[in-house]
Amino acid sequence: MLLPALFLLLQVSLGDFFILRAPDCNIQISNLDPEPIVVDGTYTFLYAAPDASSVLVKSGETIIISCPGGEITVGSTSFNSTVSATCVSNSDFSVGSATINFNQIVCSWNPFHTARYTGKSCEKQGKEIEVGFVINENFAREITICFDNANLNTLYSSYEITKSMGHHESGVSRPFFIEDDFYNLDVKVNSLYVRGGQRTTINSLLGLPADSTKYIQDGNDFYLARGHFAAKADFVYAPQQTATFHYVNVAPQWQSFNGYNWNQVESDVRDYAEKNGIDLKMYTGTYGVTTLPHEETGEETPLYLYIGSNGIQGIAVPELYWKVAYNPETQLGVALLGINNPYQKDINKSIICEDVSAKINWLHWNASDTKAGYSYACEVDAFRKRVTYLPDFVVKGLLL
């Protein structure tokens, strides 16, 4: 009786062993032009693993492919702007009754990105804005912004830097910035940022002739750039990168700082995520208003890009830019700060927490260079004592 039972068990085991499973799908989203938005069932962006060359979709798994603002075509077949696609094998997916090859997908237009109020509040007087892609009745969120609409200032942007930054698409064109409906001024926001516009406004505040180049110069470094919170280079895919070009995701930043120490901070954080294989939760924002001395009185004067006919001021030139990098798994984080004023002589007045940058060996900035943006690092909890609008999360130590 024992031998027949063993023989039957062997037959069942071998039968299970030799069941053939269809190969998984491996897709290269960046090879498509224009490339679609590809997310999972929770509307989370899909990335290739750091050590892989393509995104893995398991056989039988369903993904969502979308071309917001356009439609999907595969060969001569047209689909709606969004489809649910189930992996069959390799690059073949089933969409309804059809089988399509992922490599033949074409968006009729570059995916349209959206910035919109969520209806939620943030901090004391902020309103929450989400930036991302409308997919049917859902939303693939890329950036969350806390916007102080009373003063026309963004307090911070929050987003994720993926460990798959090694797959970042380079050479993506920089689009024009979008104003949206968040400012409602009597002038276009773009006109406030152009060199002539900012020069006129800053000189008016400081009692200088309208065409003075004392501070807003004609060269490459000493003018106010559109300084990103969530940087274009912080994202992998082309549609994600272009979605950072909303005015609510920038503030006036001296180009000498934007192009040097702050650019180095952004690069160092991305490198840290990639080299350590972790997804970093990011918060990037501003603190305070920078000042320069009035030409006649010598009084330190706050700088703004907008001065209304009724005297209302808005779009402040920040005193500090800050960036908090946080590892949710280990609950370790660090606050990185830079002074946004190449003309500032008294550095100490802008040191709002103890500098611990000597403990961090992955930063490659020239921290003491004032023109490049004097920079320092702090423990997150110490930083939070001054920047009280940083969202609440547990921090157990320094991100080393």
As a three-state string, the secondary structure of 119-175 is: EEEECCCEEEEEEEEEECCEEEEEEEEEEECCCCEEEEEEEEECCCHHHCCCCCCCC
Two tokens at 226?
A: 């559109």
Of 208, 228, 294, nearest in space to 216 by CA: 208
Which segments of the chain does DSSP mark as H helices, in order?
Answer: 2-17, 189-193, 195-206, 238-242, 255-258, 261-276, 380-384
Of 130, 122, 132, nearest in space to 155 by CA: 122
258 in a known ligand binding site: yes
Task: Label residues 307-333 b or e (16+ Cβ within 10 Å = b).
Answer: beeeeebbbbbbbbbbbbbbbeeeebb
Let me know: does 44 contact 164? Beta carbons within 8 Å. Answer: no
Let me know: does 112 contact 133? Beta carbons within 8 Å. Answer: yes
Instruction: Report the amino acid identity of residue 78.
Output: S
Which segments of 176-260 does DSSP mark as H helices, in order?
Answer: 189-193, 195-206, 238-242, 255-258
Cα 354–chain centre separation: 27
Q: Is 167 a catalytic residue?
A: no
For residue 55, the tally of other CB atoms under 10 A from its CB is 21
DSSP strand pairing (397-398 vs 332-339): parallel
Let me know: does 76 contact 42? Beta carbons within 8 Å. Answer: no
Cα–Cα distances in angstroms (integers) from residue 45 to residues 38, 139, 251, in the given order = 6, 11, 27
The catalytically annotated residue of 113, 228, 246, 364 is 228
For CA atoms 95, 99, 104, 108, the dihedral sign is: negative
Give CA angle at 246 (122, 229), nearest 5°: 60
Residues making up the annotated binding site are 258
Residues making up the annotated binding site for Mg(2+) are 258
Catalytic residues: 228
